[in-house]
Structure 1
Amino acid sequence: MSTLVRTEPLSGPPPLLVPGDPYSVVVLLRGYAEPEGVDGAVRADGSVTLIVPQTRGSSSGHREAGPEGRSAKTALAEAARGPILVDTGGPWTREALLDALAGQDVAPRDVTLVVGTHGHSDHIGNLGLFPDAALLVSHDFCLPGGLYLPHGLGEGRPLQLGPGLEVWATPGHAGQRDVSVVVAGTALGTVVMAGDVFEHDGDEDSWQALSEDPVAQERSRRTILGMADLVVPGHGPPFRVMRETSPTKGEGEPPGGAGGSLQ
């Protein structure tokens, strides 16, 4: 038996609100990548997504207690009580990001955790807007002020931030330290903010050329397609993931693409 996977982009401009319990997901800014000029130049920016707990904790709760004896697990759970931002776009997107947050009644000081899926400038170019937030950029986790805490994140060992809210190691695009954020229990099922593990829906003809480790990234893509009902890619609209079981192997597109067959 094999599971055939097909994908379908969601239409409509951002913000895209996906209600959920205990977390809702809001795609604030849709990433893009457009060829410009000659010699392979590309004008690009990354998608930015907000995760909002149904019941917000204090925006300063994770800053009140002293850091002594603090574990990464405890600090991450505390940081996840407030709004969480996944990627920040490039610095040229600063005003658009601030406007998008304001549209959700969120100020930069309200954000308690920023997750950067990887270290490229079009995905973490506005970290400076959030000096009071905890930061998880790739695999580096630090509290405000630069206190770095060790943790056990690795492939197959996600970090749990809250009920149905996890950070997964999804290596490949930028090397071994890419991460994706998984939110279960939304109105559209499980949402995965995948950074550039998926450039966009239907990217099977292009993602390998942009990957530092295509073998690892194909493995990460399979993992995401196996769990996600909705994927927020790095440079395109969110897309639905639909599955059906077939008794015949070998059907569908190659498994490395956004559509294909999961064995």
Structure 2
Amino acid sequence: MSTKQDYEITVLFTGYSTQIEQGMLANCTCTLLKGPKLIIVDTMTAWDGDRLTEALGKHDVNRNDIDFVICTHGHSDHIGCNYLFRNAHHIVGNCISHKNTYYTFNFADNPYKIDDNVSVIATPGHTLQDVTVLVKNVNGLTAIVGDLFENEKDLEDERIWKDAGSDSEELQLKNREKILAIADWIIPGHGAKFKVNKIK
């Protein structure tokens, strides 16, 4: 049974990535966490402001009430609408800021705890500053991973995540394995949420 301390996890927009003649057509998955704090993870491109604001309104959330904006890394399709959330603390990769104040935190050694149910951990690989948001609720542990996983298909075909770009394939593989070992659900950067099938 859920409590007021639980977080409701809503994927506002499911990300995608498709090769086209000019390059790539892509946008990231954008996720809303509603609980003791209001949190948005990965804010899509700078052209998505109106539809993101509208989507939040459908969930009775005003952009001025968002407490934390967390971007799993600094690529433009993950940070584009950060400007909408002027009252929030922003975590972009392993950088934390609020307005013009920047905070020092060692993500490599410690999780950044927002509260007992939400934390941010370092998962470098796709970029060396990548982070993952871990959310505990009645459904288990959900990992919002950005481009650590492109989509569920890259579990079977590693070319998918490697072709998307990786600053360190070795670190990315290590952190993919780490998340697969602890998570019940994964929300990837460019695909639908999926359940982790644990090998007994």
Superposed pair shares fold, TM > 0.5: yes
SS in 2 for 1:222: helix
How far 1:157 moved relative to its partner?
A: 2.0
Of all paired residues, the percent bearing the same amino acid is 34
**Which whole-Å CA distance do the structure 2 matches of 1:136 and 1:88 have between them?**
12
1:160 to 113, 125, 129: 113
2:170 alignment partner, one of 204, 212, 215: 215
Q: Match for 2:51 among 87, 96, 100? A: 96
1: CA distance, partners of 2:3 / 2:106: 30
Structure 1: 5+ residue stretches without partners: 1-17, 54-80, 246-263
Q: Superposition pairs for residues 107-118 of structure 1, below 5 Å?
A: 107-118=62-73
Q: Does 1:243 align with 2:198?
A: yes
The corresponding residue for 1:49 is 31
Which residue does 2:74 correspond to in 1? 119
Which of 172, 185, 188 is the aligned partner of 1:230?
A: 185
Distance 1:134 1:199, change over 3 A: same
TM-score, structure 1 as length reference: 0.71
Residue deviations 1:66-96 (CA, integer Å, cap 9, x gap): xxxxxxxxxxxxxxx4300111011122222
Paired residue for 2:136, among 152, 164, 184?
A: 184
Partners of 1:173 and 1:139 lie apart in 2 by 13
Q: 1:21, CA displacement in angstroms?
A: 4.5
TM-aligned CA deviation for residue 19 of structure 1: 9.3
Task: Give 1:42's aligned amino acid.
Answer: M
Q: 2:147 aligns with which of 196, 209, 224?
A: 196
What residue number does 1:84 align with? 39
Q: State the Cα distance separating 1:218 from its structure 2 match.
A: 0.4
Are 1:173 and 2:126 an aligned pair?
Answer: yes
Give the gaps of 5 or more residues in structure 2: none
Indicate conservation of the 8 Å contact 1:138/1:179, yes or no: yes
CA separation in 2, counterparts of 1:182 and 1:234?
A: 14
Residue in 1 that maps onto 2:159: 205
Corresponding letter in the other structure for 2:133: V
Residues 19/33 of structure 1: CA separation in 2 closer, same or farther (3 Å cut):
farther
Q: Answer with 1 or 2: which has the greater Rg.
A: 1
Structure 1 runs of 4+ aligned residues shifted over 3 Å read 18-21
Could you say which structure has the greater relative contact order, defined with CA pairs below 8 angstroms and 6 or more residues apart?
1
Residues 193, 120 of structure 1: alpha-carbon distance in 2 compared, 3 angstrom cutoff: same
Cα distance in structure 2, aligned partners of 1:163 and 1:190: 12
Q: Distance in 1 between matches of 2:29 and 2:94?
A: 19
Give the SS at the match of 1:50. Answer: strand
- The two structures, once aligned, show a CA RMSD in angstroms of 1.7
Cα contact 1:85–1:111 (8 A) shared by 2: yes
Are residues 20 and 198 of structure 1, via their aligned partners in 2, closer, same or farther at CA, if it must alter by over 3 Å?
farther
- Residue 147 of structure 1 aligns with an amino acid whose one-letter code is T
Q: How far does residue 99 in structure 1 lie from its aligned partner after superposition? A: 1.5
Give the Cα–Cα distance (whole angstroms) in 1 for the partners of residues 32 and 168 of structure 2: 28
Aligned mates of 2:67, 2:34 — CA distance in 1: 11
- In the alignment, does 2:103 pair up with 1:149? yes
Distance 1:202 1:138 in 2: 24
- Deviation at residue 152 of structure 1 after TM alignment: 2.4
Aligned residues: 195
